[in-house]
Amino acid sequence: MSLDDERNRLQDSLPRIGVTDVAKLAGCAPATVSRVLNNPEKVSTDKRERVESAMKVLGYVRNHAARALRSQRSHMMGILIPTLDYAIYASLVGAATRRLSAAGISALVATFDYDLRTEFNEARLLVERGAEALILIGQKHDAALYDLLHRQDVYFVNTYTLDPAGENPSIGFDNEVATAAIVRHLVHLGHRNICVISGPTRDNDRTTSRLAGIRQELSRNDIELEPERVLECSYSITNGRSACATLLARIHPQPTAFICGNDVLALGALVECRERGLRVPEDVSIVGFDNLELSQHSNPPLTTVDVPTERMGDSAASYLLDRFERKLVPRQISLEVRLILRQTTAPAPRRD
């Protein structure tokens, strides 16, 4: 007999603890135990504590599979993010899972490495495994994904972006407006020789919108962002360094400011500038995006755009929970982002 067969035999031989067993030990009716499990706020503190103590003593584990068959609910939701390598997404996932867990919902997390076809495949697997709703990043998804969600009647919400005129629910912010604020800050400091280190724009509407916001705001100030002043690269400190080095060698006279697609790229640019003997911000100003915890501890601390990712994740989970409760919820929820001025930006240097 295999180890798995032996384990299954032992598990099958163990007495199964049920609601009636918990009720007997707690000295209450089975209906009270059910209320503690499903609507704890409707049970007195004393009874709830007795029931919870009995469950702990007996090792009671709720049978979600049987519950799902009875209620046609799996009590699982999916979260699809581009990568787990970037802390900002981990923050969103953490906040969402905490909210879902408090409501008795399990979270299934999948990544798709910024590839929309992979995202669709992962979404399909999540739905097949019982996910009743999905938290998504961005507005741009494979058309087949939206079709799948509508056909299967799966609730969803887009995050990290906002589309007030769109038909799909979203919780986030206007990425164009956010980067326009960066440009206004730099132009106010006298910068006109500006370069951009961007994340990949392919299949990424957030990055595309940020780049559009930069171009438009520069244009309003009669500054053209020529193609050679923009480099796209995947998010890493090494890539930020490499892109910064390329732009410093390519653009003459030397750029006085770098706008970076996120804090990781900005930190890479900061390291490269310091390695070359350039003073930040006296010689070169650098701005990031997302306000990672690390950005306030860099040397010098990084000017960046603060994105409320924890609130975004919590709001997305709450939105989906409210949908299941048939509550009226706004289709678009706008969150505030703000430019955090630290010590990597200063007036443009005079260059004769």
pLDDT of 64 higher than 80:
no
The three-state secondary structure class of 171 is: strand
Please name the amino acid found at residue 170: S
Fold agreement (3-62, 175-306): no
Better-scored residue on pLDDT, 56 or 86? 86
Amino acid 15: pLDDT: 55
Amino acid 30: pLDDT: 86
pLDDT tens profile 169-208: 999 999 999 999 999 999 999 999 999 999 999 999 999 9
Q: Which residues contact 317 (CB under 8 A, 6 or more apart)?
A: 77, 95, 96, 97, 99, 100, 135
**CATH of the domain spanning 3-62:** 1.10.260.40
What global pTM score does this model have? Answer: 0.78
Query: Measuring CA to CA, how many Å separate 187 from each of 184, 192, 314, 350?
Result: 5, 6, 35, 14
Quote the CA–CA distance of 157 and 78 in Å, as a whole number: 11
The three-state secondary structure class of 84 is: coil
Return the CATH number of 75-173+309-336, one of 1.10.1040.10, 1.20.1440.230, 3.40.640.10, 3.40.50.2300: 3.40.50.2300
Question: Are 134 and 156 within 8 A, CB to CB?
Answer: yes
Quote the CA–CA distance of 134 and 128 in Å, as a whole number: 12
Question: Are 160 and 206 within 8 A, CB to CB?
Answer: yes
pLDDT of 108 higher than 70:
yes
pLDDT tens profile 283-329: 999 999 999 999 999 999 999 999 999 999 999 999 999 998 889 88
Measured in degrees and rounded to the nearest 5, phi and psi for residue 295 equal -65, -25
- Name the fold adopted by 175-306: Rossmann fold (3.40.50)
Strand order in the sheet with 133-137: 106-111, 76-81, 133-137, 155-159, 170-172, 332-334
Quote the CA–CA distance of 242 and 184 in Å, as a whole number: 26
Amino acid 328: pLDDT: 87
Both tokens of 318, joined, read 């709450």
Domain ranges for the chain, please list them.
Answer: 3-62, 75-173+309-336, 175-306
Which of these, 36, 132, 79, 43, lies nearest to 325 by C-alpha position?
132
* Torsion 16-18-22-25 (CA) sign: negative
